Structure 1
Amino acid sequence: MIDFNSYPLVIQDAGKQCDTEYSSMTTLISIFLCIGLVISYMPQHYRIIVNKTSEGFSSWFLLLGVVSSTSSFLNIILLQWDAIVCCKSLSTGTCLASLLGVFQIMLQWAMFSLVFILFLIYFPENQKRINNLDLPAKLHDLTNEWKTALLVAIICIGHLAISFFITVILLAVVGSPSEHWETNYWAGFLGIISMVLASFQYLPQIIKTWKRKAVGALSIPMMLLQTPGSALFVYSLAVRPGTNWTAWITYLVTGILQGTLLVMCIIWRIRNKRLGIDDLHGTPVANEQTPLLREGDNR
């Protein structure tokens, strides 16, 4: 077993001091959160894949979430760049301990991006086109909802490409945020963008879920796992050396809004079960008493 506290406190690397003093408790919490984060997203991925539909998701919710998590990921890379550089002078165990904060946010970005990918793959076929004829799809035949989803995909890819390019150029040409104000300002800008988008991220989904009065493809077990975990997630990031409020405020705001959506989904789940409504599609559940044809449909 690796003892993360058995290494020297400070190591010199290229004229820089590499802090290797990490709390065992903070390290254990970070490892627990990394594992828990992956596990918490599994119910959501599973629900979409098994039901073969992403009905009920808001494209704008996913757009804000992907752009926010991408900005947050690049923000933490910039803020922890000195720790990343120091890794070449440290043992594997110490290096991993110093970068657990980066791994946490990287996993968050990857897991949420996978939700968006599954959203596109399992987008309901009957909601992609205005008519359902088996003819080659034309742009004017596509529904506004599917056009929005495709536009969101383009924006997410474009944002990732541009932000990644700027980050690489600044680190390669200018230097780390701790030594150069240009890189530090860019890191702060990404953090603020992430915070602002996260503040509004769940609002489109809350509005859509409220209007549908059905949970849809959203996973209640995922939110039950993630909402209380937000507090630990924020704490573990806040106490890490080199980070500031721009790295963790995003997850505090997101946790509060996700809790609101969770309460709403639980209420709709209980209500729909009582009324005999399909919670996935928001339609009445067919049974032996349900007439196959409404009056007038056979004309």
Structure 2
Amino acid sequence: MNDRCTPQHDWFTASLTLLLCIGLIISYLPQHYRIIHTRTSEGLSPWFLLLGSTSSAAGFLNMMTVQHTQIRCCRVQSLSACLESTAGIVQVGLQWGLFSFIFILYMLYFPEHLKYLPESNPRKGESVRSPLWSRSILLARVTVAHFLLSALTTLIIVLASPSPLDIPPPPSPYPDPSYPDPEALPLSLARWALFLGVSSALLAAVQYIPQIASTYQAKLVGALSIPMMCVQSPGAVAMVLSIALRPGTNWTSWVTYAVAGIMQFTLLSICIAWKMRQRRLGIDDFGVPLEAADGGLSSSYRDEEQQGDLDAASEDGERGVPGLVLEEEDGLDVGAVSKALESALGEAAAGDVREGTEVEVDEETPLLQAQSTAQEVQGKGKARAGWW
């Protein structure tokens, strides 16, 4: 067996990598479960998901580039030795897959009431995509294209580089210009690995900025999972240590996760602050009063309810006047009559408002009493929100 393919057992690094892989799965599960359980991805920024997916993909391909020797040595190693030597690649690839799955769930559970403009009616074929939904589709396509192009380039460069398993036997001089230095990467691989590592770090540095800005402006946690960030923020230290101890890696391989850990801790701090604010205002993570949330008013239900209101409003608009049924007869213009009646009713209602007509709320008008009470509660909520 080639000396470069001789297994190097490091039980501390292997154990740390195994624990980190398990921790990665455990840390991402709350975020996956939260989106699936609430059936909405409201509150997540598509720019955050784009930058995170491309950053983790670049970091994953960087590890495959700098450790291509370990991958090629699997042909002459046992399965256990191969898994141990490539555990770092598995670890980084696992993080890329778990984060990219969040983007998939974001697209699958995108809120229905945010997909189309309010004046459109998807059920009748009159659908106009909202800017957010159009942007999300575009960024998802860019993410897929980035990974496919980067993976293909990595494969071509790695296959074109000389293999450490094909070192010429003595008395041929070594190192030969056509074969890699045992202690360094070939020039092409070194440049590509540097590009992937630096681009991954830059993307990770700005990855959390759109999500931090979006969460800060919304003043709501949304679909973000606080337990996930509580596990991953301190876990970034162990992630950096695990990668730095791997043979063949350099600072370009672990700087990505150091930057991401700092930014994620900032986002976690903001989410905890907004969580405390939500409790003070009596609302849930999506801005719904806790009384309504306790009554089962979930996000998916709100989407269906709002869509039903739009359909009902559209149908009422076609009828013109609610409760009025006109049949077409000879010489009768149904549309003109409906519009005339609607205009007359509108003028009459406007006249009542101008005259300052007041409606007395008593025990016989419980609906108006409920509306008045809701307005009072809303006014108190706004006053409390000013304290935060």
What TM bracket, shorter-length normalisation? 0.7 to 0.9
**In the alignment, is residue 52 of structure 1 matched against residue 39 of structure 2?**
yes
**In the alignment, is residue 136 of structure 1 matched against residue 125 of structure 2?**
yes
Partner residue of 1:149 out of 129, 136, 139? 136
2-structure distance, mates of 1:137, 1:285: 34
8 Å Cα contact 1:129-1:137 kept in structure 2:
no
Residue 17 of structure 1 and its aligned partner are, at CA, apart by 1.6
Partner residue of 2:235 out of 229, 246, 269? 229
8 Å Cα contact 2:66-2:185 kept in structure 1:
no
2:155 partner amino acid: V
Q: Which residue in 2 is equivalent to 1:276? A: 282
Normalised by the length of structure 2, the TM-score is: 0.68
8 Å Cα contact 1:212-1:282 kept in structure 2:
no
- Other structure's SS at 1:243 match: coil
Q: Which residue in 1 is equivalent to 2:253? A: 247
8 Å Cα contact 2:114-2:132 kept in structure 1:
yes
**In the alignment, is residue 170 of structure 1 matched against residue 157 of structure 2?**
yes
2-structure distance, mates of 1:22, 1:126: 55
Distance 1:175 1:54, change over 3 A: farther
8 Å Cα contact 2:66-2:189 kept in structure 1:
no
Q: Which residue in 2 is equivalent to 1:119? A: 106
Which stretch shifts more, 146-155 or 124-133?
124-133
Residue 173 of structure 1 and its aligned partner are, at CA, apart by 2.5
**In the alignment, is residue 30 of structure 1 matched against residue 17 of structure 2?**
yes
2:289 partner amino acid: P
Query: For residues 63-98 of structure 1, what are the alpha-carbon distances to aligned partners after superposition, in whole Å with 9 as ceiling and x for unaligned?
Result: 100010111111100111001111122222111111
Normalised by the length of structure 1, the TM-score is: 0.88
Answer with 1 or 2: which has the greater Rg: 2
Partner residue of 1:202 out of 194, 202, 208? 208
8 Å Cα contact 1:58-1:204 kept in structure 2:
yes
Query: For residues 92-140 of structure 1, what are the alpha-carbon distances to aligned partners after superposition, in whole Å with 9 as ceiling and x for unaligned?
Result: 21111111100110000000000000000000000000035223365xx
2:109 partner amino acid: Y
Residue 22 of structure 1 and its aligned partner are, at CA, apart by 3.0
1:18 partner amino acid: C
Distance 1:97 1:291, change over 3 A: farther
Distance 1:168 1:292, change over 3 A: farther
2-structure distance, mates of 1:266, 1:147: 30
Of the two structures, which has the highest relative contact order with CA contacts closer than 8 Å and spacing of 6 or more? 1
Greater share of strand: 1
1:135 partner amino acid: K
- Other structure's SS at 1:231 match: helix
2:71 partner amino acid: I
Q: Which residue in 2 is equivalent to 1:21? A: 8
